[in-house]
Chain A
């Protein structure tokens, strides 16, 4: 079936979004078409707004529309602890756990030799700058539990420990809901490494 060209264009655009297949793109496009003009305008404006107003927090490099970001300016947060993460979306996962009430620092990547990403490509200098005044007592390294994330954590701990800080690494190991017999030896090894007294 031949669709009108503007509709075809919208479907093509929507298909480029992650997780949107041909069918869903078509459904979304027809939904927009059926909706009011106000709805469509609001959607278009929201998309442009994100591009126009969102930037990186100059303190923690989280994505934000006001600088410094809401986390950095929140008086209720514990300023003695910084949790270091690879990407802005990692912040949501940690916030949802409800277990951390300090500040964040987003590296925007991890050491990845094969992709040519070295220490100077990450927000490491700015992290050291934040630690200068001595108010931060603990840095939690919450980089991903893969080869790059581990190497990044080791690299950072070697930089930070001489500053007299408490440097911790999130425990890794078995995902909740998994079974021991299905876990590989690296995962089991990491789980043993991170064991604690109960």
Chain B
């Protein structure tokens, strides 16, 4: 089998056995790749800090017959997001990105737009994008790129433009509904006030770095957090652990 190469982010890395690490990558060209990095725990020379969470590396690997676990040959560091994660809250938000990316990326399935989304949001955080808009940006676009974000501009039932004063997300229907169509009071339904619809438009129409200057309001971002959490749960049927730790870390500070 030929040696493959791709630019990649480290999404997860955990020790196996005495000396090795099992690492999950989001690659630019081949979707998710999981593989074993032999000797990564013992020899710092070969991998160094390159396999720390969200390192962007030039990954080289061999696919192996009869297993979806690749053999990691090398991971040359291109860009590190190590120091960003020294702040516990920022570290927890970045871990949320990694956990969500791991859940949405598919093995052997190219997803370059998703790779670029992760890169753009990480860069924007480095340049000073606040954590809440960064998290909402990543969540909304993750849903959008994977075809599961309901329209936040038009009513999911009648197709009319959602009114500026707001709408409601109907969980059973999986759609945002205008006031005339939606009762908006069913179990699990979420209010989407005008500020949230405006924040969603700001997120969907600009690169993440644009939100450093034009920060959406907290009143607009909070309902989007609830919407993303609901959609993530309904789609994956699991809770992301990083979000719980993020809440715990925030509670203390």
Chain A positions within 8 Å of B, measured between CB atoms, are 18-19, 111-120, 146-147, 150-155, 158-159, 175, 178, 182-187, 189
Q: Could you give 28 example pairs across A and B, Cβ below 8 Å?
A: A111-B249, A112-B245, A113-B92, A113-B95, A113-B96, A113-B246, A114-B12, A114-B98, A114-B241, A120-B248, A146-B52, A147-B52, A147-B53, A147-B85, A151-B85, A151-B86, A151-B87, A154-B87, A154-B88, A158-B253, A178-B44, A182-B45, A184-B77, A185-B80, A186-B80, A187-B44, A187-B49, A189-B83
Nearest-CB distance from B136 to chain A (Å)? 18
Q: Which residue of A lies closest to B80 (CB)?
A: A186
B50 close to chain A: CB less than 8 A:
yes
Q: Could you say which interface size class chain B belongs to?
A: 20 to 34
Q: Which residue of A lies closest to B47 (CB)?
A: A184
Chain B residues numbered 77-101 whose CB sits less than 8 Å from any CB in chain A:
77, 80, 82-83, 85-88, 91-92, 95-96, 98-99
B186 close to chain A: CB less than 8 A:
no
Taking a contact as CB atoms under 8 Å apart, the answer to whether B249 and A114 are in contact is no
A103 to B176, CA, bound (A): 58
B252 close to chain A: CB less than 8 A:
yes
Taking a contact as CB atoms under 8 Å apart, the answer to whether B77 and A113 are in contact is no
Nearest-CB distance from A93 to chain B (Å)? 15
In the complex, what residues of A have CB within 8 A of residue B52's CB?
Answer: 146-147, 186
Taking a contact as CB atoms under 8 Å apart, the answer to whether A118 and B249 are in contact is yes
Given A147-B91, A151-B85, does the pair A19, B241 have CB atoms closer than 8 Å? no
Could you give, for residues 94-118 of chain B, a 1 whenever the CB lies within 8 Å of some chain A CB and a 0 otherwise? 0110110000000000000000000
